[in-house]
Amino acid sequence: MRRSSNRKSSSASAAAGSGSTKAASKEFEKIDHLFNVYADKSSAIIDPEGIEQLCSSLEVDYTDVRILMLAWKMKAQKQGFFTLEEWRTGLKALRADSMSKLKKALPELVKEVSRPTDFLDFYSYAFRYCLTEDKQKCIDIESACQLLSLVLGTQFGPQVDKFTEYLKSQSEYKVMNMDQWMGFYRFCNEIPFPSLENYDSDLAWPLILDNFVEWFRENQK
């Protein structure tokens, strides 16, 4: 297919185009090689189609959270795209330079992310990653719900379920911003669920959470 036929011809130019020294490219040779398997010939970037292919190679679903974790490790800027720099960053950190090594590195990555300090960073990264436009500060509620399930679903399942249920049922908020996003994580960590006993709406919780708590308490009755 188109990509594979381009592979051989573009690899050299891609390596040269990145502007690294000969020694460096030697270090990244295998990694770059792997990059070019999935990268688009003309843009020299892995685009969504390439990522899809990568996923099938890794034997994970396109929507799996591990792809997001991979993006985080790469510090990828734009959702759906990996640049060569990013690819190098990620794979070097994972100490993987082949598909099999990359596959093996994934479970380790998952464990790393679940450490509290790393998770906080990952969590806020996940939000920023979804901001596709320049100067965009919010993501729409629908996407936010999906992202919450993806990122917090295993750790705080009940809260996420109820919160997304609330978000879908209300019409006041059409988007969510970073402050609210981070607030929810704090909420999951600090407030016992479903009792919500020490929640005080007079404190500095984001208003969206005040409304959620009120809705939740109303529905309990």
Minimal distance, residue 134 CB to another protein, in Å: 16
Rule CB under 8 A: is residue 125 a binding residue for another protein? no
Minimal distance, residue 24 CB to another protein, in Å: 37
Instruction: Specify the residue, 10 or 180, whose C-beta has the smaller distance to another protein.
Output: 180
Instruction: Specify the residue, 111 or 137, whose C-beta has the smaller distance to another protein.
Output: 137
- Site map 173..212 versus another protein, x via CB under 8 A: ----x-xx-----x---------------xxx-xx--x--
Residue 177 — φ and ψ, nearest 5°?
A: -110, 175
Instruction: Specify the residue, 161 or 200, whose C-beta has the smaller distance to another protein.
Output: 200
Instruction: Specify the residue, 87 or 181, whose C-beta has the smaller distance to another protein.
Output: 181
- Show the CA angle centred on residue 186, arms to residues 158 and 77, nearest 5°: 100
Provide CB contacts within 8 A for 210, sequence distance 6+: 201
Rounded-to-integer distance, Cα 62 and Cα 46, Å: 14
Rule CB under 8 A: is residue 128 a binding residue for another protein? no
Minimal distance, residue 132 CB to another protein, in Å: 18
Number of residues that bind another protein (CB under 8 A): 11
Instruction: Specify the residue, 59 or 202, whose C-beta has the smaller distance to another protein.
Output: 202
Minimal distance, residue 182 CB to another protein, in Å: 8
Instruction: Specify the residue, 37 or 175, whose C-beta has the smaller distance to another protein.
Output: 175
Does residue 148 come out as left (phi exceeding 0), alpha (psi in the -120 to 50 range) or beta?
alpha
Minimal distance, residue 211 CB to another protein, in Å: 9
Instruction: Specify the residue, 13 or 189, whose C-beta has the smaller distance to another protein.
Output: 189
Minimal distance, residue 180 CB to another protein, in Å: 8
Binding footprint of another protein on the chain (CB under 8 A)? 137, 177, 179-180, 186, 202-204, 206-207, 210
